[in-house]
Amino acid sequence: MNCHRFRLNLWKPLLALALLAPLAGARDLPAGVAWIHEFREPIQSEVVVAGEMAIVLVGKDMCALRACDGTLVWKVPVGRGGLELREGLVVYREAWRQHFYDPRDGHLVWEFSHDQCLCQSTPGRIWYVSKGQMFAREVRTGKILWQRTQPEGMFEFWPDQEGFFASFQGYRKVERHTFAGQVTRLAWTAEAMRRTRAGWLVTAGLGTSLVNEQGRVLWNRPGLHTTRIVGQVLVGTQLGLEGFELTSGRRLWQREHYYSRFALDRFLVLNKWTQLVFCDARSGATVRRIYGDHNMRPVATPDSINLLAWPGSLTRYRKSDLREITRWPSLIANYPYEVEVPDGSYGGGRSYHPYHTTLAVLGAGSGQVTFDGPPELELLRHRDGILVKGRNLRQVELALYAKGELVERRLLKLPAADPGSSEICKFAVAHGTYQLVARSRGLLTRQEFEL
């Protein structure tokens, strides 16, 4: 008789929980959120989108997720490096070696090694120096298109369609080499060069110049350094923070100096610890200040700016005037310690926002959460309450019963991939025997505790 009554008391809360709690398969995300994937290890890179695949470095693996729903399609062990997309191939970079992968199935197409930092690229080609020889190879196939002996004493080089500029050890004097074999010694030095629509932007010491394809100086700004290009405006540090017309070098504006800044679509963004200052690149005027924390990561889409900020919130702003459109305040589980937050990215109509082990995606998609492994859930007695331990869960539904009657229901959020992910639950109840039922992702765990 006592045993029969105990069974009734045990199954009554389970039946109530099964009827009232949402089904594990119906964990839909809010409208506008394409999907979320929870990894077991920290995300190490931006996401690159190639066709129907979203590829990202996680731990020491390169992982490809289906862009429409976040399902893991393939995984390749690589190491710790960087990712980029060239001519439809995914390029994994590590030290002085580059590997080119097919994004459809992850097979290696070709690879090469180069000397130190002597590696550059132009549309469709990769240029590098290896063992005293200069090479130009086709990106898609790795076929060698051009080869010659490295000029003696060459320190760095920058190729284009007609030839290459080369700087030399010592005073960084520059020569212009054409593919026809003509060599011209130039009257200026270079530490770095960038190809722009207006010509080559040259940095030397604390000065910046613009030169044409033949090496003729179009304008020079002594003292201008740490530059960024925003549209057709060159932003750099000289007398404070200044903006210059790229084609002419004419000063457009001047404002207070910020040490951290970057270009985002048509905006110059100044990062001032807990705020992002969005500025108009042509005038230097502030468009909007957005306050948050030092880990804010904005992504530009064709019609919006999507911003990831602590503690795991995502906000969409209208690009035209930076007015807030939608906010998802607790989309990503927060961590009680400093975590890695790589930059976000955009591709294929979706914006990708990595946060430690979580990848949240905005746009069209399945609206589901996918995980790298099976769910794990455990309930343990703790001196301060009940310890709930879980992995690959995101959240746990808790129901506390006394003699078959519901006392309290609680929704507990857990970081999905943290191996030590746990929370202590305190229940303000009278002393006695209670049954705690926990449910998440199809797992159902029950245990009796003296509280």
Domain contains 444 = yes
In tens, the pLDDT along 329-349 reads: 888 877 766 777 899 999 999
For residue range 413-432, what is the model confidence (pLDDT) as tens digits? 877 666 657 788 888 888 88
H or E segment and range at residue 314: strand 313-318
Q: What CATH number does the domain containing 9 carry?
A: 2.60.40.3080
pLDDT at 16: 46
Domain count, the chain: 1
Tell me which residues of the chain have a pLDDT lower than 50.
Answer: 1-8, 10-11, 13-27
Residue 385 included in any domain: yes
354 Cβ neighbours under 8 A, 6+ residues apart = 43, 46, 47, 56, 341, 342, 344
Measured in degrees and rounded to the nearest 5, phi and psi for residue 10 equal -75, -40
In a domain, 66, yes or no: no
422 in a structural domain: yes
Distances in whole angstroms, Cα of residue 213 to Cα of each of 177, 195, 305, 357, 431: 11, 10, 36, 45, 83
Query: Residue 219 in contact with residue 245, Cβ under 8 Å?
Result: no
Q: How far apart are the C-alpha atoms of 39 and 58, rounded to whole Å?
A: 8
Closest by Cα among 132, 161, 125, 166 to 148: 132
Residue labelled with tokens 């992850």: 106
Residue 431 resides in a domain:
yes
Q: Is residue 6 part of a domain?
A: yes
Strand 108-113 to 119-122 pairing: unpaired
Query: Position of tokens 């011209």?
Result: 184
Q: What is the pLDDT of residue 271?
A: 87
Name residue 427's beta-bridge partners.
Answer: none
Domain that holds residue 426: 2-24+374-450
pLDDT for 51-104, tens place per residue?
999 999 999 999 999 999 999 999 999 988 999 999 999 999 998 899 999 999
Distance of CA 303 to the CA centre of its chain: 20
Contacts of 123 (CB under 8 A, 6+ apart): none
Residue 380 falls inside a structural domain = yes
CA distance 252 to 245: 7
What are the tokens at 292? 């948050």
Structure tokens at 150: 């490295």
Report whether 387 contacts 379 (CB < 8 A): yes
Nearest of 283, 282, 280, 315 to residue 301 by alpha carbon: 315
Residue 438 lies in a domain: yes
Contacts of 91 (CB under 8 A, 6+ apart): 83, 84, 85, 98, 99, 100, 101
- Indicate the pTM of the whole model: 0.86
Please, what's the b/e burial string for 25-53 (b: 16 or more CB within 10 A of its CB; e: otherwise)? eeeebeebbbbbbbbbbbbbbbbbbbeeb
Residues 339 and 356 sit within 8 Å (Cβ to Cβ)? yes
Q: How many CB atoms lie within 10 A of CB 80?
A: 10
% of the chain beyond a pLDDT of 70: 92
